[in-house]
């Protein structure tokens, strides 16, 4: 094997992302609440970022007071040197900005204990024996997200090598405290347990669940009535009882992850009927580079280590200010283009939404498509049609007979209207819906597309929608 050194030239292109670019991309995709948290974090971490005082230019004072203020504003280099060894902001005591947030949190009610931990807490309050608490904890850990125990309680006891009776007692106690169907094997057993837990008996509904559940899922009501020897009216009455039962025993105890929506963009109409676009600034403070930055650099010029540290902090502050400004400018440009292209949608609603792709908006704003995606991620707009995600302004489309196109959302809305107006005793098939869309609305769409849209709207098939008279 021959080994030698060689010199060669090679040309290649690489995409290198500077720290400024990375920070700009991160800030661009932040929502308003996330940006506010990021601003507070940067204010605590960087001494050269400060809040801009809008009334600063209006203040007047005597020369002595100005001199005293100037002396107080001079940077404390000894304090800045301690930044080398200090922990990141947030590890120690709270800042004054955080105190206000903390006071606000004290006024927010604690979430209800509708979780597995909350159920165990109720058992502890009831002074449940320790062994039963352990069995209950293992049983809750074995439940799926719907509250079912698909493998059965016998398999659970065998897996943990514990007595079956202990799990049965714990399951009975859990059903008393939480839900009568908690730990059922499937939805059929869950319905049966809930029916038997009702104060009044419902024999028709119980027989329907026990002996004819598969036919029920296929909407074969006449066949069920004949097999049970009852009228169709009695079967429907049993269905009304089943409709009030829970299909997810643990659904009530799922954690509430809902949060208030704060729009990033405001779209309103002026007196001339023109739409105006602006960005919300609720709670978002104005930032600026501290006036002490240059003075601190000059004082630390003889200390290379401190001077380099301060220079990095100042550069980081400038990058962050640029990133916030760029986010505001980009989001505003994209929002204005969306309003221009979707004017009819804002006037009349979803039915008038036009097909619009992100690439079209990117070309109009002269940015990459990934920038449009980041800018609209998680952002909401307050519009005359309500508070909507910016993603809703984008939609694919289908061709019309007149040479135009209709957006996907508009077609879904139209399908929903067609199904709502149909004769429930003779529901429309997907083929019939296609004919209505073509003949009445001039929309050409394939059957598989109608089926996909129907399923996305949680509309069952014509067989399942049929209402027997």
- The answer to whether 190 touches 247, Cβ cutoff 8 Å, is yes
For residue 299, the model assigns a pLDDT of: 80
**Nearest-5° Cα angle at 440, 439 to 443:** 70
Q: What value does the mean pLDDT take over residues 141-168?
A: 89
Q: What percent of the chain has pLDDT over 70?
A: 81
pLDDT per residue over 364-401, tens digit each? 999 998 899 889 988 999 999 899 999 889 887 776 66
Q: Is the dihedral of CA 361, 365, 369, 371 positive or negative?
A: negative
- The answer to whether 292 touches 48, Cβ cutoff 8 Å, is yes
Q: Over the chain, what is the mean pLDDT?
A: 80
Strands 405-407 and 397-399: antiparallel
CA distance 262 to 283: 11
CA distance 286 to 55: 12
CB atoms within 10 A of CB 143: 19
- The answer to whether 413 touches 351, Cβ cutoff 8 Å, is yes
For residue 315, the model assigns a pLDDT of: 86
At 407, which helix (H) or strand (E)? Answer: strand 405-407
- Going by the DSSP 8-state scheme, the letter that residue 147 receives in this structure is S
Tokens of 182: 């908690």
For residue 206, the model assigns a pLDDT of: 92
For residue 329, the model assigns a pLDDT of: 93
In angstroms, how far apart are the furthest CA atoms of the chain?
101
pLDDT per residue over 403-447, tens digit each? 667 778 888 888 988 999 888 888 889 899 989 988 888 888 888
Could you tell me where the beta strands, DSSP code E, fall in 232-311? 265-269, 275-279, 287-289
CA distance 285 to 279: 13
pLDDT per residue over 248-270, tens digit each? 887 655 555 556 778 889 999 98
For residue 213, pLDDT over 80 is answered with yes
pLDDT-based confidence at 120, cuts 50/70/90? confident
Fold of 397-465: Arc Repressor Mutant, subunit A (1.10.10)
CB atoms within 10 A of CB 37: 12
For residue 14, the model assigns a pLDDT of: 66
pLDDT per residue over 39-97, tens digit each? 888 888 888 888 876 555 455 444 444 544 444 455 555 554 544 444 444 344 444 44
Domain spans, the chain: 115-185, 187-252, 265-390, 397-465
For residue 51, the model assigns a pLDDT of: 82
pLDDT per residue over 306-342, tens digit each? 878 888 888 888 888 898 899 999 999 999 999 999 9
């Amino acid at each position: 094997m021959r080994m030698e050194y060689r010199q060669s030239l090679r040309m290649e292109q690489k995409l290198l992302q500077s720290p400024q670019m990375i920070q700009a991309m991160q800030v661009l995709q932040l929502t308003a609440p996330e940006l506010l948290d990021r601003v507070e974090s940067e204010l605590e971490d960087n001494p050269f970022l400060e809040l801009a005082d809008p009334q600063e230019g209006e203040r007047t004072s005597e020369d002595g007071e100005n001199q005293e203020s100037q002396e107080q504003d001079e940077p404390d280099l000894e304090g800045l040197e301690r930044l080398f060894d200090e922990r990141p902001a947030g590890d120690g005591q709270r800042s004054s900005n955080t105190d206000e947030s903390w006071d606000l949190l004290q006024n927010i009610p604690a979430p209800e204990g509708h979780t597995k931990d909350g159920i165990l807490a109720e058992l502890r309050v009831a002074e449940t024996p320790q062994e039963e608490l352990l069995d209950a904890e293992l049983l809750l850990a074995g439940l799926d997200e719907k509250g079912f125990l698909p493998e059965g309680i016998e398999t659970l006891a065998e897996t943990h090598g514990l007595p079956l009776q202990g799990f049965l007692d714990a399951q009975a106690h859990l059903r008393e405290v939480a839900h009568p169907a908690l730990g059922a094997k499937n939805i059929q057993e869950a319905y049966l347990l809930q029916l038997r837990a009702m104060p009044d008996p419902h024999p028709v509904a119980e027989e329907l669940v026990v002996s004819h559940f598969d036919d029920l899922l296929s909407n074969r009501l006449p066949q069920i009535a004949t097999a049970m020897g009852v009228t169709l009216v009695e079967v429907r009455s049993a269905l009304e009882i089943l409709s009030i039962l829970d299909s997810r025993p643990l659904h009530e105890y799922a954690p509430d992850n809902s949060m208030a929506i704060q729009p990033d963009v405001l779209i309103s109409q002026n007196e001339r009927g023109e739409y105006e676009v602006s960005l919300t600034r609720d709670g978002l403070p104005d930032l600026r580079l501290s006036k002490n930055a240059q003075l601190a650099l000059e004082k630390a010029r003889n200390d290379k280590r401190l001077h380099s540290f301060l220079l990095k902090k100042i550069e980081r502050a400038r990058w962050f200010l640029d990133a916030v400004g760029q986010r505001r400018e980009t989001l505003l440009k994209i929002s204005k283009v969306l309003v221009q292209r979707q004017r009819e949608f804002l006037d009349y609603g979803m039915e008038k939404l036009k097909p619009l792709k992100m690439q079209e908006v990117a070309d109009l704003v002269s940015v990459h498509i990934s920038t449009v995606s980041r800018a609209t991620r998680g952002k909401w707009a307050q519009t005359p049609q309500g508070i909507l995600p910016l993603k809703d302004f984008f939609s694919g489309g289908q061709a019309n007979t007149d040479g135009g196109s209709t957006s996907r959302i508009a077609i879904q809305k139209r399908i929903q209207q067609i199904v709502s107006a149909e004769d429930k005793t003779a529901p429309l098939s997907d083929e019939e819906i296609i004919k209505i869309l073509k003949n009445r609305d001039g929309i050409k769409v394939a059957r598989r597309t109608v089926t996909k849209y129907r399923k996305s709207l949680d509309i069952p098939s014509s067989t399942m929608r049929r209402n027997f008279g």
